[in-house]
Structure 1
Amino acid sequence: MSEQLLISFEPASGEELWRGAHSDVEAAISAARGAWAAWAALPLGTRIETLRSFANELRREGEALAELIGREVGKPLWEARGEVDAVAGQVDIAVQAYAERTGKKKFDAGVGASAAVRHKPHGVMAVIGPFSAPAQAPCGHIVPALIAGNAVLFKPSEKAPAVGEALVACFHRAGVPEAVIQAVIGGPEEGKALVAHPGVDGVLFTGSVQVGLAINRKLAANPGKLVALEMGGNNPLVVVETPKLADAAALVVQSAFACAGQRCTAARRLIVTPGAHDGLMEHLVPLTRKLMLGDPVGEPQPFMGPVIDNDTADRLAESFLALLTAGGRPLLHMRRSMPDLPFITPGIIDVTDIPERPDLELFGPVLQVIRVPDLDAAITEANNTRFGLCAALIGGSAEDYGRFWANVRAGVINWNSPTTAVSPKAPLGGIGLSGNHRPGAGYAADACAYPVASTELDQPRASLGLGVRS
């Protein structure tokens, strides 16, 4: 029987970038289970120093890894370099978060006794990553999981296996044992096998809501396996009256079209009040037309590269057409600039008059405009979704933002910043279909170790004072 191969193609050129065999999931799990206890038994300081060596390895290999990200997923080099820098910076953030959120605590329990809370690793963790942030998103789970003492089986997206393999090689060169961090190469079948396997103690997932819900259903009857889901969003960006309309337009572009709209935190719905609408559109549409679309590793650097593949580009074009057919009014048409490659220009469409707007995450450069009469209506419209990942308000007063923050349902709520602006020290997660209340980033440590409560005395001391015959 021939070996099954996975092949990765560059979206910008269609050329083959990488090929490799699908992993043996059983063998990977067996090796991880044999290795994790020794890794967990190492002093915490040793694990931390090993992860710091990983950060240094990333800095040495940064340009090569950034170019690989750009080629494999179509992300412009300026974005890819930022992603590599963010991964290197995650180590110190994860170390601090581990100390703050899972550090040892001791309390006085009276009469010579003490109480303690310490944390233990779960064991073997499966980390399933997306193509959209092929280094940063999975490392946001891998690094804290390794610091806590877990072994990690990392399944990169089948659309970004080369980046996944390169990341794991950096961990190995830094000194993490090969069985403690492994790349599990493959597609949906390998992912399903990891999720369901009894030898996997936890699943840390970042990706689409469809896959996240499938994982949740699969493990619903298995409460012993930790599941952390970071899924997408139909994220609202609300603009009210502001004198800084050019700045507001730039924030809209950053929110909606960076990374070709392929971020879970990207703005999908632009909700605008009358005092801001006309002036904002006068800036937004011309600015969006000026965005350069091109080779992600070429010069001059484009603002946007391609979307991940032709199927995705086709679906986005069909979605835009469906919105038009349902009553949407195009403000800027989407175009396929190269029919055989997944380059697609940003589209802006006013969907105010569509009676039942679809509550979907259109994962690409599509921005839907909704006109509302005032801020209260904007908040109602912002909450008109099953998702709850990110939301942002542009313009308004501190009082307006206070009302917005108090009433909008989302895990990230920003003011005069893009929806994509999330500090790596802060939690990243959402409610509804956006997650299961286990945020990542600065709070990822919570999912990587479990608390153990103890009451401790140096000698046994006990007596029965009541209910005993003399």
Structure 2
Amino acid sequence: MMHAMLQSFDPATGEVVWEGPAAMPEAVARAVDTARLSHAAWASTPLAQRLAVARAYRGELEKRSDDLARLISRETGKPLWEGRGEVASMIGKVDLSIAAQADRASEKHTATTFGEAVLRHHPHGVMAVLGPYNFPGHLPNGHIVPALLAGNAVLFKPSELTPAVGEAMAQASSDAGLPEGVLSLVQGGKETGAALVAADIDGLLFTGSATAGAHFRRIFADRPKVILALELGGNNPLVVWDGAEGALDVEEVAALVVQSAYVTSGQRCSCARRLILPRGRFGNAVIEAVAMLRDRLRLGAWDEEPTPYMGPLISPEAAARAQQQVGQIVALGAKPIRLLEPLADRRATFVAPALLDVTGLTVPDEEIFAPVLQVTRVADFDSAIAAANATRFGLAAGLVSADLALWQRFVVESRAGVVNRNRPTTGASGAMPFGGLGDSGNHRPSAFYAADYCAYPVASFEAALPTGNRDSLAGMLTA
């Protein structure tokens, strides 16, 4: 039987990074059957042993951290400092997942007058994980580790753009002693993913676009037994407000804005896409400082020296799509402070960040997955909050202000799952939930709360013998 071949490429050079066969639908079906058979034994494995395997996996990541960081950077294009940070997050995720399992999904016993109340958590069974390309290690890792700790079997399909990282993760799990069949890797593109989603799975854990998330909502509407956890994108607002004149350092603000909008070449779901500022001198100063800092950002390949701040977008197609979206906004009347410009003598994946003034315009409420920041100027803070919430998404939001009263309003009135003050919108703690509402998710946040969707609670009343039941009927029976 012929197998479709899958390749991944270094976005900076176009060189092939990985090549291998894509799993055809028949192979996906066999992998699901294997996972189903493996699940029962893994679910009945004592938790202490599952924890030991997770810690061994952490050790495998630590041993190969340098090689894995280089692989992540080469396959995604992100600078090596980002690849190293991603591996560190993967390593840290193990202990955080163990802590979350103990906190949110452990067994609990409570004595009552009616008997002992016992809370247990059972695994769902066979969980499918579809990984994204922007964090091909960290984000699927955040689903896989909690799912395995809970006793599920996992089928992992990495993004077709980053299969090498997925293969490295599966090898690390195997080397850590995870029993065969408990974690199965299925490589491939849309056809492979469609076969996996259509299979007899008990859960789909997905990180990706809102468009794909909406598709999954529809096709699983009639399959209520499948737990669906969606971690999607956002059209995230960042409000900068100098409530007390002169309280904010404009250069610091500009650096925070750049970190929010342009880190990872804008390829983070939590990147700021919309900058909301007051009209007048302060807002003008912030825009000027952001534009000047944008012009100084070093762009380059993942292993270049001096170290670049940004790498390329994932593919020429992604760059072309982003440039088309920017062109559409400019055609609607946006003022281009900086355009999404291709770099001379570089592959088409390299683009310099865009900064567009869209004040007074109605522009598409879409996530542009690229370094594109749209500026809106408003008259007052009420208008700033209204503008921030004027989106179908609800993942991240941020306020930059020294005014505590403004923050207290903003954190209450913002419609987002991650709301930061005086920190980039891209900052998130693994010890807290991560997820959004609206078109940004389905109210099943990941990170520390992943334990919630990897197991279901079972509540019991228990007693050693069926005592007291006869007495409860006294006086209510006929002779």
Partners of 1:273 and 1:49 in 2: CA distance: 54
Question: What is aligned with 2:52?
Answer: 49
Give, in angstroms, the shift of residue 98 of structure 1.
0.5
Q: Is the 8 A contact 1:266 1:420 kept in 2?
A: yes
Q: Is the 8 A contact 1:327 1:353 kept in 2?
A: no
One-letter amino acid matched to 1:120 = H
Partners of 1:326 and 1:380 in 2: CA distance: 22
Matched, 1:179 2:188: no
Question: What is aligned with 1:105?
Answer: 108
Q: How does 1:242-253 map to 2 (within 5 A)?
A: 242-253=247-258
Partners of 1:81 and 1:217 in 2: CA distance: 37
Q: How does 1:187-206 map to 2 (within 5 A)?
A: 187-198=189-200, 200-206=201-207
Matched, 1:170 2:179: no
Partners of 2:475 and 2:135 in 1: CA distance: 63
Q: 3-state DSSP class of the match of 2:351? A: coil
Matched, 1:219 2:220: yes
Deviations 1:437-458 (CA, angstroms, capped at 9, x unpaired): 0000011000101000111110
Q: Is the 8 A contact 1:237 1:394 kept in 2?
A: yes
Matched, 1:257 2:262: yes
Partners of 1:97 and 1:450 in 2: CA distance: 14
Describe the shift of the 1:466–1:14 C-alpha distance in structure 2 as closer, same or farther (beyond 3 A).
Answer: farther
Partners of 1:225 and 1:20 in 2: CA distance: 30
The percent identity for this pair of structures is 47
Give, in angstroms, the shift of residue 466 of structure 1.
6.2
Question: What is aligned with 2:3?
Answer: 3
Question: What is aligned with 2:141?
Answer: 139
Matched, 1:156 2:158: yes
Give, in angstroms, the shift of residue 109 of structure 1.
2.9
Give, in angstroms, the shift of residue 108 of structure 1.
2.1
Partners of 1:182 and 1:434 in 2: CA distance: 28
Partners of 1:220 and 1:189 in 2: CA distance: 21
Give, in angstroms, the shift of residue 276 of structure 1.
2.8
Q: 3-state DSSP class of the match of 1:55? A: helix
Larger displacement relative to structure 2 (301-310 or 236-245): 236-245
Question: What is aligned with 2:278?
Answer: 273
Give, in angstroms, the shift of residue 467 of structure 1.
5.5
Q: How does 1:351-362 map to 2 (within 5 A)?
A: 351-354=358-361, 356-362=362-368
- Report the TM-score when normalising by structure 2: 0.95
Partners of 2:409 and 2:282 in 1: CA distance: 18
Q: Is the 8 A contact 2:273 2:372 kept in 1?
A: yes
Partners of 2:143 and 2:14 in 1: CA distance: 31
One-letter amino acid matched to 2:226 = K
Q: Is the 8 A contact 2:12 2:347 kept in 1?
A: no
Q: Which runs of 4+ in 1 moved over 4 A?
A: none
For structure 2, the 5+ residue unaligned runs are none
Deviations 1:299-323 (CA, angstroms, capped at 9, x unpaired): 2211110001011101111111111
Partners of 2:346 and 2:78 in 1: CA distance: 19
Partners of 1:166 and 1:465 in 2: CA distance: 67
- Match of residue 36, structure 1, among 36, 39, 43: 39
Deviations 1:164-209 (CA, angstroms, capped at 9, x unpaired): 11111001101112310111111112212222212x1111110001
The count of corresponding residues between Structure 1 and Structure 2 is: 467
Question: What is aligned with 2:409?
Answer: 403
- Match of residue 314, structure 1, among 317, 320, 323: 320
Partners of 1:428 and 1:120 in 2: CA distance: 23
Give, in angstroms, the shift of residue 341 of structure 1.
3.0
- Report the TM-score when normalising by structure 1: 0.97
Q: 3-state DSSP class of the match of 2:120? A: strand
Q: Is the 8 A contact 2:265 2:311 kept in 1?
A: yes
One-letter amino acid matched to 1:256 = A
